[in-house]
């Protein structure tokens, strides 16, 4: 066997070794929760496994993996090292992975994802081949946040203070006097004229003041109770032991737990 053939055989063997010892598990929700799918070798199209565009968090058990947004390792791809990736949102791959494959270990890749968590913290995640049982929920309490202040801006009419408008008063008095002069006769006509002048002056002054009104934005606030729960405090009993867990979404009538320890599995 010549040197070139030996190198080729060694490369193939190295690739087979990487695949044989590689393992990655994908979860359909952040924080290693929800339905899981484990791969020990390359998968060209995750739709055949019912997990296309579903992964939101990942645990790389062994080896290094390339994950791609399209089938057959096309589109945007990233390299994941051994560790726990709590979310794929920051990588732009949340619910977008369509193909995966193990890759040869290297010190550095140009398309490498940000470093995973130093220590796994996925106690709620469902492990591969783990036996899960459904346990009835005994109580649920929705925990809401503290009251919050809500503010808004609304348009309001404002009358600006001003001095009496002499022009408006005089014009109103003249109009009132003319109208009053046309009513009655003799002394009555004089009285009507004077009354009309006084009333006209008042009307003229009001009209002048109305012209000084304007509108402006006014900020108003009110304190209201927070109606949206921050989390749900869930209690269940398994084999005589009461367990409590906080969930970000309301639970159903049962909760999934580990058959041995009773720990919740999401």
**What does the pLDDT average to over 75-85?**
91
Indicate whether 201 pLDDT > 70. no
Report pLDDT for 253: 92
Cβ neighbors of 86 (< 8 A, separation 6 or more) are 30, 31, 32, 57, 117, 121, 122
> What 8-state DSSP symbol labels residue 49?
G
- pLDDT tens for each residue of 227-236: 677 778 899 9
Single pTM value for the model: 0.45
Full 3-state SS string of 124-153: CCCCCCCCEEEEEEEEEEEEECCCEEEEEE
CB of 132 closer than 8 Å to CB of 126: yes
**What does the pLDDT average to over 137-141?**
91
- Identify the weakest region by mean pLDDT among 23-37, 45-59, 179-193: 179-193
Radius of gyration of the chain (CA): 39
With pLDDT > 70 as the criterion, what percentage of the chain qualifies? 66
In this structure, what are the phi and psi dihedrals at residue 26, rounded to the nearest 5 degrees?
-105, 145
Question: In whole angstroms, what is the distance from residue 140 CA to residue 69 CA?
Answer: 38
Closest of 120, 9, 1, 112 to residue 58, by C-alpha? 120
Find the helix or strand (DSSP H, E) in which 106 lies: none
**What does the pLDDT average to over 181-189?**
46
CB of 147 closer than 8 Å to CB of 161: no
CB of 85 closer than 8 Å to CB of 58: yes
**What does the pLDDT average to over 154-165?**
66
**What does the pLDDT average to over 113-135?**
74
Indicate whether 51 pLDDT > 80. yes
Report pLDDT for 74: 94
């Amino acid at each position: 066997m010549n040197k070139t053939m030996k190198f080729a055989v060694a490369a193939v063997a190295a690739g087979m070794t990487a695949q044989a010892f590689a393992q990655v598990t994908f979860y359909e929700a952040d924080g290693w929760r929800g339905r899981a799918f484990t791969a020990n070798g390359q998968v060209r199209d995750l739709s055949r496994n019912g997990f296309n565009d579903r992964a939101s968090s990942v645990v790389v058990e062994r080896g290094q993996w390339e994950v791609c947004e399209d089938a057959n390792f096309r589109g945007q791809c990233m390299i994941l090292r051994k560790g726990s990736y709590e979310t794929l949102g920051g990588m732009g791959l949340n619910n977008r992975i369509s193909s995966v494959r193990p890759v040869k270990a290297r010190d550095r890749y140009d398309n490498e994802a940000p470093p995973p968590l130093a220590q796994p913290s996925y106690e709620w995640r469902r492990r591969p081949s783990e036996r899960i049982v459904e346990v009835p929920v005994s109580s649920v309490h929705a925990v809401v946040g503290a009251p919050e202040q809500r503010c808004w801006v609304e348009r309001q009419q404002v009358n600006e203070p001003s001095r009496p408008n002499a022009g408006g008063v005089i014009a109103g008095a003249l109009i009132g006097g003319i109208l009053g002069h046309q009513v009655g006769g003799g002394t009555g006509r004089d009285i009507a004229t004077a009354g009309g002048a006084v009333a006209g002056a008042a009307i003229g002054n009001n009209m002048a003041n109305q012209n000084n009104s304007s509108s402006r934005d006014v900020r108003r606030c009110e304190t209201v109770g927070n109606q949206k729960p921050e989390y749900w405090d869930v209690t269940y009993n398994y084999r005589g032991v009461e367990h409590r867990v906080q969930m970000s979404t309301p639970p159903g009538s049962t909760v999934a737990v580990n058959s041995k320890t009773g720990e919740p599995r999401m």
